[in-house]
Amino acid sequence: MRIAEAAEAYLRHIDEVRRLSPATVRAYRSDLAGLAAVCGDVELSAVDLEVLRDWLWQAVQRGDSRATIARRTAAVRGFFAWATETERIETDPSLRLVTPKRGKTLPKVATAQSLEGMLARLEQAAAEGDPVALRDHAVLEVLYGAAVRVSELCGLDLDDLDPQRRTARVLGKGSKERVVPFGLPALRAVDAYLVRGRPALAARADTPIGGAAAGRSASGVARAGGAASALFLGARGGRLGPRAVYDLVSRELGPELGAQVGPHALRHSAATHLLDGGADLRAVQEILGHASLGTTQIYTHVSSERLAASYRLAHPRA
């Protein structure tokens, strides 16, 4: 079997059987396409360890990050392990392929005061009634208030909200569903958006979106079916996409952190503020939807850094 043909079969496997996230499937597709381009139109059995090492070395020479190289290593190791298990090849050439260690970096976190100021500014802009301003305020309140991923936020439907319990049902990585809480400010922002913002955005679409549900408040949302069920709409009336959310967060939060930031910065900030406020680490893990507690523990390091900084500033013998 040729390497490109085998790669397509593997990608279908991780998409349809293992149910990996669409982003992971896209990344692995790109990685395996790069390997196929280097190897040429050869049989899968012709690829050996030296070919794989040379492929990764080319990535190093291009200046690819450690995280990217580690992902590419994971992609080919998973690919060849699957090929061996399904008897497409006899031996796995990637067994001795070493995954480079990722550099340890702490996530960028905004202070609670700066986020309060940003959200207050957005609330003031939304009070003027512009539908995009109403949506932007609701989007950032939910991102920070529920600590969700951008893909989870964009995938929210109208009936995923439970305003009485102040919770949202989100679909996370690996198609795992979880219920996350959000606060009263987020509920108020979403309520205002559903009443005054969403109907106006829906009217911009070629086909009206939302029907009778579009003008309801959060206390009366209902599934409208299909694409019409989207909670957050873009400027043209379709479901809001991740790129628009990235642009929004970068514009509003970038100046505060002095760097190019994305929606994950709000998730990082929410997790850190929860731990700073005394939340249990296991509870934060559940809210974030982390499979491993070790992933959540990075936020304890962020809190420790803040504690050390406060000590150095305040203690006379620091």
In the set 71, 108, 149, 268, the catalytic residue is 149
- For residue 114, what are the CA distances in angstroms to 102, 118, 166, 278, 306? 30, 6, 24, 20, 15
- As a residue count, the chain comes to 318
Known catalytic membership, residue 149 = yes
Residue 220 confidence class, pLDDT cut points 50, 70, 90: very low
Residue 227 confidence class, pLDDT cut points 50, 70, 90: low
User: What whole-number distance in Å separates Cα of residue 63 and Cα of residue 129?
Assistant: 47
Residue 205 confidence class, pLDDT cut points 50, 70, 90: confident
In the set 108, 267, 268, 273, the catalytic residue is 267
Residue bearing the bigger pLDDT, 195 or 286: 195
In the set 77, 178, 216, 290, the catalytic residue is 290
The 8-class DSSP code of residue 91 comes to: S
Predicted confidence (pLDDT) at residue 219 exceeds the cutoff of 70? no
Q: What is the pLDDT of residue 174?
A: 74
CA 159 from chain centre, in angstroms, equals: 21
Residue 307 confidence class, pLDDT cut points 50, 70, 90: low
User: What whole-number distance in Å separates Cα of residue 117 and Cα of residue 137?
Assistant: 12
Structure tokens at 70: 């580690």
The proportion of the chain whose per-residue pLDDT surpasses 90, expressed as a percent, equals 49
Residue with tokens 């309520």: 191
Pairing of the two strands 167-171 and 161-162? antiparallel
Known catalytic membership, residue 13 = no
Q: What is the pLDDT of residue 218?
A: 47
The whole-number average pLDDT for the span 78-95 is 93
Known catalytic membership, residue 299 = yes
pLDDT digits (tens, 9 = 90+) for 37-79: 888 878 888 999 999 998 998 888 888 888 889 899 999 999 9
In the set 10, 28, 144, 299, the catalytic residue is 299
Q: Hey, is 98 helix, strand or coil?
A: coil
In the set 173, 178, 196, 216, the catalytic residue is 173
pLDDT digits (tens, 9 = 90+) for 107-131: 678 888 899 999 999 999 999 999 9
Closest CA to 249 of 154, 124, 130, 184: 154
What is the reported pTM? 0.67
Q: What is the pLDDT of residue 122?
A: 96
The whole-number average pLDDT for the span 253-272 is 85
Q: What is the pLDDT of residue 20?
A: 87
Residue 206 confidence class, pLDDT cut points 50, 70, 90: low
Describe the crossing of helices 131-146 and 264-276 by its angle, rounded to 10 degrees.
Answer: 50
Which structural domains are found in the chain, ordered by start? 3-85 (1.10.150), 112-301 (1.10.443.10)
Q: What is the pLDDT of residue 10?
A: 95
Least confident of 2-11, 178-187, 225-234: 225-234
Residue 309 confidence class, pLDDT cut points 50, 70, 90: low
- For residue 285, what are the CA distances in angstroms to 68, 102, 224, 279, 281? 25, 22, 32, 10, 6
Q: What value does the mean pLDDT of the chain take? A: 85
